[in-house]
Structure 1
């Protein structure tokens, strides 16, 4: 799925979301000031002071809900918070309509559309463009009903279409501006992150080439052989089996060559060694880059890493997906954050799930720091979910398979 369809600016760039928080406070204060000022402008039209005060209070509550939702202490702005803000702001517009029912001469001095649109604009860094347009459409539909009711009660002869357009214009314009900002910013951030990921992979590849300047391009047959049967890293099960086979196979072959005849026991022994060699080669072929990453973390971080990828799905990951999973595993696999790191991959029914679990660390990871790492996975198309408990930290990545 295209990341632009569901990602928010905060998810793609958590630091940028934190920087935008003060603007939300300013926008919420401006919305409250507008509701108070507009109420005084049509003070002579108010027939229910209680409803008028309730409307101002609901605008303040919507601004407060939005402001508290973007606090630094919160890991991420929840989508439910957006609908809470829209519901409160729309409720304020309904209260304003009730306060001037039957005496509302004009629509341009109603604060409902302006405050709803302004609050949606303030939500742009924390909501996807689809959610913003959906919220704008829902609130505009409610206000359209109010406009029709106000026109009927006041006996206005103006065309209903023009009245509905005027009543919804502020919401549509401001919400569209917020949606355009969200769409363009997410696209820019995701493109930048992908360029950085590719540059990092290329730099890593060039670094390995520079480490062996005398290496020449292998013959195609040698390259194919190195890909099929590669030397396992020291300490891996495949390396241990090959080492054992080397100690047993060579003496056995020497004994068979020097003997006059081959016994039944020699045939049985040859079959056993052939099966063991086949198992060792199969282990080397089935090992993926994720197994290499696990070995590197064990060696460099002193962290026990367990990889459970029975179908070898990791071998089919794109470079962006590998970079994202590597970043999460490397960060959680730090010796201070975990003593045991479990990585499991399951695929089926057109979807896949990766679960990374870190246990037994001396330092408990912070949710905000973890979200910054997980945002890399969201930027390359993974659906993400992270949980931190006193015992473990869990990151779940979901993706679609082709």
Structure 2
């Protein structure tokens, strides 16, 4: 009897993840939920208070209770705004605390004259506020806030039970009151958990597919790169080598010429290694601006190649922001400056080591004639393999020497651009992009001085055992 192979478990999203964090665009679509829920909460609170005027002893407390609940609803609408993303834990706690304060004030306003628990507006309003947190906060946090709120509401119902018009065991009153809060809170937590896990599984599968496709195309791409380089060499290097072979002698001028050609080839290849996704993006935008009849001057300052450490979400968000700036009306094509610096060590990438150059960042030095010949011979592959092996060995040695720690390095990207737009048009045009940036990066600062717009946001990198 053979045992069936167990199906591998699909990875679950981190407990701190939320829909807004994993899918910022989806978070934008969920924002209308906040004003709709807030309007329902305020309308129901006002209507319920007016219909229960005969039960209210202290009208002042009832008015204050409705006012506090209105403040909680207003805070929800403000906190869920796309341009203020992400929705932080402090905002959620403030909303729930205001809802609980409104509940206590409403209970005090009808003390000893409350006919029944079912028509109290505060528990239902608090439950709806918790329901509106589903797209913005993790499910465990919503569960904790809902459980804590339900406990306070249940205790309040127990205290009021001797004065209620229906004679029933006090525990039933507590259960009824707690259900009004727990039911929406559990629905909110279940929605958050399911949506977050679905998004995380989809993203994981997409990354695996991209990785598999990359591995499949690695071989053909390498041959294409070699063919492209050989084509470039054909203009100068190959005719020189053919001339040397025809003459069957090597003069001092030939050696000098060979060193010059080797230096030029090496400089080109090193420049290709230092090329990042940000350079490609700015290059495409330069071409687009030139096609529109403009004369662009887009500057990139990333000497440590920190752009290579950005993950796919960060690259997409930053790239979308840059593309949006270049397409806005009033954009000055000579004003775009993108700078990346950081507080930690520069990222390392041993997979991008080039032929016979060792670690990235090594200074190009003049080569001998044997180096020039090796570029177009079979020794090219062997030199490349040796360089990669040496780079990995040096990286492992560096990781063993450095102390083992789990630290965070911060890369800061700064974008400066001149936009000749009125402030309200500028805010309206950039609002959706800034909401995505705030959901992806840890800190986003927007500074506007007349036409000059400055965007600054941080990207955290985790350093584990000295390897980034």
Which TM-score bucket, shorter chain as reference?
0.5 to 0.7
Decide whether the 8 Å contact of 1:297 with 1:303 is kept in 2.
Answer: no
Q: Is the counterpart of residue 308 in structure 1 residue 368 in structure 2?
A: no
Could you say what secondary structure the match of 1:107 adopts? coil
Decide whether the 8 Å contact of 1:148 with 1:164 is kept in 2.
Answer: yes
2:419 paired residue number? 361
Deviation at 1:268, TM superposition (A): 5.6
Deviation at 1:304, TM superposition (A): 0.6
Measured at CA, do residues 260 and 179 of structure 1 come closer, stay the same or move farther in structure 2, by a change above 3 Å? closer
Q: Is the counterpart of residue 92 in structure 1 residue 81 in structure 2?
A: no
1:139 paired residue number? 149
TM-score, normalised with respect to structure 1:
0.67
Q: Is the counterpart of residue 333 in structure 1 residue 326 in structure 2?
A: yes
Measured at CA, do residues 67 and 280 of structure 1 come closer, stay the same or move farther in structure 2, by a change above 3 Å? closer
Query: Which of 429, 442, 459 lines up with 1:398 in the alignment?
Result: 459
Could you say what secondary structure the match of 1:108 adopts? coil
Please list, as runs of the form range in 1=range in 2, the aligned pairs for 1:270-309 lying within 5 A after superposition. 270-271=258-259, 273-301=261-289, 302-308=296-302
Question: Distance in 2 between the 1:146 and 1:189 partners?
Answer: 39
1:176 paired residue number? 186
Query: Which of 262, 270, 274 lines up with 2:251 in the alignment?
Result: 262
Deviation at 1:166, TM superposition (A): 2.9
Query: Which of 433, 442, 453 lines up with 1:373 in the alignment?
Result: 433
Please list, as runs of the form range in 1=range in 2, the aligned pairs for 1:160-309 lying within 5 A after superposition. 162-184=172-194, 223-227=221-225, 262-263=251-252, 267=255, 270-271=258-259, 273-301=261-289, 302-308=296-302
Query: Which of 6, 17, 23 lines up with 2:18 in the alignment?
Result: 6
Decide whether the 8 Å contact of 1:27 with 1:122 is kept in 2.
Answer: no
> Which ranges in structure 2 are unaligned for 5 or more consecutive residues?
1-12, 290-295, 348-406, 463-467
Deviation at 1:281, TM superposition (A): 1.8
Measured at CA, do residues 198 and 128 of structure 1 come closer, stay the same or move farther in structure 2, by a change above 3 Å? same
Could you say what secondary structure the match of 1:5 adopts? coil
Query: Which of 340, 352, 365 lines up with 1:344 in the alignment?
Result: 340
Decide whether the 8 Å contact of 1:8 with 1:186 is kept in 2.
Answer: no
Deviation at 1:36, TM superposition (A): 0.2
> Which ranges in structure 1 are unaligned for 5 or more consecutive residues?
206-217, 233-241
Measured at CA, do residues 30 and 312 of structure 1 come closer, stay the same or move farther in structure 2, by a change above 3 Å? closer
Decide whether the 8 Å contact of 1:8 with 1:125 is kept in 2.
Answer: yes
Measured at CA, do residues 57 and 18 of structure 1 come closer, stay the same or move farther in structure 2, by a change above 3 Å? closer
Deviation at 1:352, TM superposition (A): 5.9
Measured at CA, do residues 125 and 259 of structure 1 come closer, stay the same or move farther in structure 2, by a change above 3 Å? closer
Deviation at 1:118, TM superposition (A): 2.4
The alignment of Structure 1 onto Structure 2 pairs a total of residues equal to 369
Could you say what secondary structure the match of 1:172 adopts? helix
Deviation at 1:389, TM superposition (A): 2.0
1:24 paired residue number? 37
Deviation at 1:171, TM superposition (A): 0.9
1:208 paired residue number? none
Measured at CA, do residues 399 and 159 of structure 1 come closer, stay the same or move farther in structure 2, by a change above 3 Å? farther
Question: Distance in 2 between the 1:314 and 1:247 partners?
Answer: 33
Deviation at 1:32, TM superposition (A): 1.8
Deviation at 1:341, TM superposition (A): 3.3
Decide whether the 8 Å contact of 2:20 with 2:86 is kept in 1.
Answer: no
Measured at CA, do residues 181 and 269 of structure 1 come closer, stay the same or move farther in structure 2, by a change above 3 Å? same
Measured at CA, do residues 19 and 153 of structure 1 come closer, stay the same or move farther in structure 2, by a change above 3 Å? closer
Decide whether the 8 Å contact of 1:23 with 1:122 is kept in 2.
Answer: no
Deviation at 1:306, TM superposition (A): 0.6
Deviation at 1:330, TM superposition (A): 1.8
Decide whether the 8 Å contact of 2:131 with 2:185 is kept in 1.
Answer: yes
1:389 paired residue number? 448
